[in-house]
Amino acid sequence: MTFVLGLTGSIGMGKSTTAGLFLDQGCAVWDADAAVHRLYGANGAALEEMQIAFPEAVENNMVSRDRLRSIIAEDQTALGRIEAIIHPLVARDRHDFIEKSNADIVVLDIPLLLENGLEKEMDAVVVVTAPPETQRERVLAREGMTEERFEFILSRQMPDADKRPKADYVVITDTVDHAREQVERIVTDIRERIENA
């Protein structure tokens, strides 16, 4: 039996670090952002449809995320049209990963898991969290990040306070050591659940 664990959290909450901690525990980890990069990459599965819908976003046989951001900023309908192309491809990539995995726990790292109603496809959900000031500090330290872009991203995400009650497990990422302890406890709990199923 493969246990499917959804991993989510708002921007800057430490989701990528936490995903790495699950990997350290022998879990298979699928990353939604990495899947999108593959799909937009050279000869990626999204290339043909994106070339038709947004030819100005394609350069060097790849979809430029910078150009997509500009298009979205100028055209309010663009985001919905992009999502209609990319979401089914991402879903297929995710399902293929689960099918091919032989790990007992598959962790699906999905930023908008709760926003897109994907928790119904999971056996359990982990929400990563950190204090708001820590989140802001982490995000604004990223190259190319601005206050405006940060606020736009936050506006598309469910507030952290609304995410946590929807979780089966919460990981506080104030320090890596603390996050590691919590991940170890979660993995132990899930493996016990698998054994007793």
Whole-number pLDDT of residue 1: 74
Say how many domains are in the chain. 2
Dist CA 77 CA 137 (whole Å):
31
Same domain, 22 and 115: yes
Whole-number pLDDT of residue 147: 92
Distance of CA 181 to the CA centre of its chain: 22
Of 78, 102, 126, which residue is a domain's last? 102
Same domain, 45 and 15: no
Distance of CA 16 to the CA centre of its chain: 8
Same domain, 88 and 142: no
Dist CA 151 CA 145 (whole Å):
10
- Reported as a single tens digit per residue, the pLDDT across 54-77 is 999 999 999 999 899 899 989 989
Same domain, 38 and 97: yes
Of 102, 117, 132, which residue is a domain's last? 102
CATH of the domain at 80: 3.40.50.300
Whole-number pLDDT of residue 75: 92
The angle formed by the CA atoms of residues 103, 33 and 145, to the nearest 5 degrees, is 140
Which residues, given as ranges, of the chain have pLDDT below 70? none
Same domain, 64 and 48: yes
Range of the domain at 61: 30-102
Are 105 and 28 a contacting pair, CB within 8 Å? yes
- The kind and range of the H/E element at 38 are helix 32-40
Same domain, 115 and 131: yes
Same domain, 23 and 115: yes
Same domain, 49 and 133: no
Same domain, 147 and 112: yes
Whole-number pLDDT of residue 197: 81
Dmax over CA atoms of the chain, in Å, equals 54
Of 68, 102, 136, which residue is a domain's last? 102
* DSSP per position, 46-111: THHHHHHH-GGGEETTEE-HHHHHHHHHH-TTHHHHHHHHHHHHHHHHHHHHHHH---SEEEEE-T
